[in-house]
């Protein structure tokens, strides 16, 4: 075989692999939408599930998802951004930072089901008087442990993107370190941090394994963060595995996929437009 033919074949092979990868995405999303979209309606979103979720809508899991995501992000955003600020602004690379980085990477690698075991033993069983046992709060605390590393890493990237000259300019004017961070660095890094938050929300919504052990799986409308509940992804799993009612599972999956697509689009828009405006100012 001549060299030219080999090169042509190799190019076809490489293009083929890329098309297959993108094709997998298109087929999965397309199939879920195709199967799920026609069942989605206003009443599907606003009716409570009946008969273990095989009939009715998805109102209570939807509400559970919103509560659970809100509480998780309320914990994860401040602590994640705080950690990122400390790591980028307040310390030089040293032993402490290396230790923190090591453990953050380690946490990112721990399987979510193992974090779920921890959440069950600690938040559900040991702290029952505080968290209400299986509850939105227990699940949020567990999910917070899980997404902390990704929040820290993406926020750190956002902070690193701010040029040193901007910090130095502020410090040279006699502004204190803390005020520089608060009024100069943070506003500039805001689009990046918001993107981190959207990424985090996407992961929290998609996660299911630790919730099996901490959220309780109740189909009732949650009264407070101390109530058990279930999220959309958990609902999808339980409906598909326990009732075999795939039309509801597909519709729930389609709602989930749409939410994930919107979050991704939002993150993209934020980085592109808000980022440019702030850099341009």
Restricted to residues 123-142, the positions that interact with other proteins (CB under 8 A) are none
- DSSP H helices in 110-185: 112-119, 128-131, 136-160, 164-172, 177-180
Asked if residue 158 binds other proteins (CB under 8 A), the reply is no
The answer to whether 43 and 55 are in contact (CB under 8 A) is no
Report the residue number, 103 or 161, with the smaller CB distance to other proteins.
103
What tokens were used for 157? Answer: 């990237």
Q: Which residues, 6+ apart, have CB-to-CB distance to 175 below 8 Å?
A: 183, 184
Asked if residue 200 binds other proteins (CB under 8 A), the reply is no
Question: Rounded to the nearest whole angstrom, what is the least distance from the CB of residue 269 to other proteins in the complex?
Answer: 12
Asked if residue 212 binds other proteins (CB under 8 A), the reply is yes
Which member of 40, 58, 139, 152 binds other proteins (CB under 8 A)? 152
Which member of 34, 41, 51, 90 binds other proteins (CB under 8 A)? 90
Q: Interface with other proteins by CB under 8 A: which range of 10-18, 38-46, 64-72, 189-197?
A: 10-18
Asked if residue 20 binds other proteins (CB under 8 A), the reply is yes
Which residue do the tokens 């190799």 mark? Answer: 10
**SS3 for 109?**
helix
Q: Which of residues 48-67 bind other proteins (CB under 8 A)?
A: none
Asked if residue 172 binds other proteins (CB under 8 A), the reply is no
Size of the site for other proteins (CB under 8 A): 84
Give CA–CA dist 170/200, Å, rounded: 31
Asked if residue 149 binds other proteins (CB under 8 A), the reply is yes
Distance from the Cα of residue 200 to its chain's centroid: 3
Asked if residue 5 binds other proteins (CB under 8 A), the reply is no
Spell 240-276 as b/e; 16+ CB within 10 A means b: beebebeebbbbbbbbbbbbbeebeebbeebbeeebe
The answer to whether 256 and 266 are in contact (CB under 8 A) is no
Which member of 38, 55, 105, 168 binds other proteins (CB under 8 A)? 105
Q: Which of residues 239-258 bind other proteins (CB under 8 A)?
A: 240-241, 246, 249-250, 253, 256-257
**SS3 for 56?**
strand
């Amino acid at each position: 075989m001549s060299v030219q033919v080999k090169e042509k074949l190799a190019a076809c092979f490489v293009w083929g692999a890329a098309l297959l990868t993108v094709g997998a995405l298109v087929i999965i999303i397309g199939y879920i939408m195709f199967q799920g979209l026609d069942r989605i309606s206003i009443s599907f979103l606003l009716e409570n599930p009946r008969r273990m979720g095989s009939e009715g809508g998805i109102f209570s899991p939807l509400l559970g998802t919103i509560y659970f995501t809100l509480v998780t992000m309320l914990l994860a955003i401040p602590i994640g951004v705080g950690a990122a600020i400390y790591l980028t602004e307040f310390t030089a690379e040293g032993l402490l930072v290396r230790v923190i980085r090591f453990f953050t990477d380690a946490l990112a690698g721990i399987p979510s089901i193992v974090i779920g075991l921890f959440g069950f033993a600690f938040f559900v069983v040991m702290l029952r008087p505080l968290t209400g046992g299986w509850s939105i709060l227990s699940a949020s605390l567990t999910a917070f442990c899980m997404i902390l590393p990704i929040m820290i890493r993406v926020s750190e990237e956002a902070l690193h993107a701010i040029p040193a000259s901007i910090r130095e300019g502020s410090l040279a004017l006699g502004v204190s370190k803390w005020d520089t961070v608060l009024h100069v660095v943070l506003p500039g890094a805001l689009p990046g941090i918001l993107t981190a938050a959207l990424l985090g929300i996407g992961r929290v919504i998609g996660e299911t394994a630790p919730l099996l052990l901490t959220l309780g799986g109740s189909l009732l409308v949650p009264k407070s963060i101390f109530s058990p509940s279930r999220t959309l992804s958990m609902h999808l799993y339980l409906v598909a595995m326990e009732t075999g009612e795939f039309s509801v599972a597909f519709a729930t999956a389609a709602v989930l996929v749409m939410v994930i697509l919107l979050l991704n689009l939002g993150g993209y828009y934020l980085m592109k437009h808000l980022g440019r405006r702030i850099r341009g100012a």
